[in-house]
Amino acid sequence: MILMNLKVISSTMHGDPVDCVVKTPVALQLGDVVSDSIRPGVYITDVVLPEPVNIREISFKNYYTAYLTVRVLKNEEGSEQGPAKWFTCVRNYCLMSSPHTEGGSQDYFSIYRQQMMTEPDKVITVRLILRQPSSIWLNFNIEDIKIYPLTDEESESDVPSWLATITPAEESLDLNGLPDPDTVSSSIQHMWALTEIMQSSQTSASIGRFDVDGCYDVNLLSYI
């Protein structure tokens, strides 16, 4: 799974969020909660949906949460009548560049289904596990939680609409010599993902023209 660090001011997708109930965060703390004054580093917030939902996007505003894990309660594929099970969609998603600094502490974020390790379909409950290892911040949370459903049009295909509708189903065209549209779409998505990885892993460290592991290759040196 390729996880992109997407920050947005507001949802760019169409549609309204589903009605849901956001429960009060529950702290996970070792020792006696009453007598132990140490600030808890983990909170769990459950978002209960009124009916099973195929999730397209989860958006929220951060408030000093460093890492986020998303789990969903849903039925396994092919066993809708069986008991629901928990699945991890996103693990340790980084919301702050450093837990000890302000970066990302109050930004808006969106997590899309393409970023999740399991398809968030027929979801009953979304569990958000918030972590803040730094003791600098007295409180942390996420706010303005919105869950957007996958529409019928979007569920038909994960590829862009302009690429998915190149050839209407009722038309038969001669595609000899042309690449398969599905293959082209897969390649474009792969290249886009690689670009995101390269951008996120760029370093500002300078590299010498002929420096290899801290040494110089004598054959590459030129003399005047």
> Residues 72, 86: contact at Cβ < 8 Å?
yes
Residue 157's closest CA among 180, 179, 178, 186?
Answer: 186
- Residue 38 CA to residue 54 CA, distance in Å, equals 39
> Residues 75, 84: contact at Cβ < 8 Å?
yes
- What pLDDT sits at residue 151? 84
Residue 55's closest CA among 24, 22, 15, 8?
Answer: 15
CB atoms within 10 A of CB 150: 18
1-151: which CATH number, 1.10.3470.10, 3.30.70.890, 3.40.50.300, 2.60.120.260?
2.60.120.260
pLDDT at 149 over 90: yes
19-28, 34-43, 61-70, 107-116: least confident range: 34-43
Q: How far is CA 200 from CA 7, 44, 114, 162, in A?
A: 13, 28, 18, 28
- What pLDDT sits at residue 9? 37
Query: Where is mean pLDDT largest: 6-20, 69-83, 159-173, 202-216?
Result: 69-83
Q: What is the pLDDT of residues 36-75, one digit of tens each?
A: 456 679 999 999 999 999 999 999 999 999 999 999 999 8
More confident residue, 41 or 76: 41
The domains of the chain are located at 1-151, 157-224
> Residues 53, 149: contact at Cβ < 8 Å?
yes
pLDDT at 206 over 70: no
Q: What is the pLDDT of residues 126-137, one digit of tens each?
A: 999 999 999 899
Across the chain, mean pLDDT equals 75
Average pLDDT over residues 197-224: 53
Average pLDDT over residues 138-146: 94
Would you place residue 108 in the very low, low, confident or very high pLDDT band (cuts 50, 70, 90)? very high
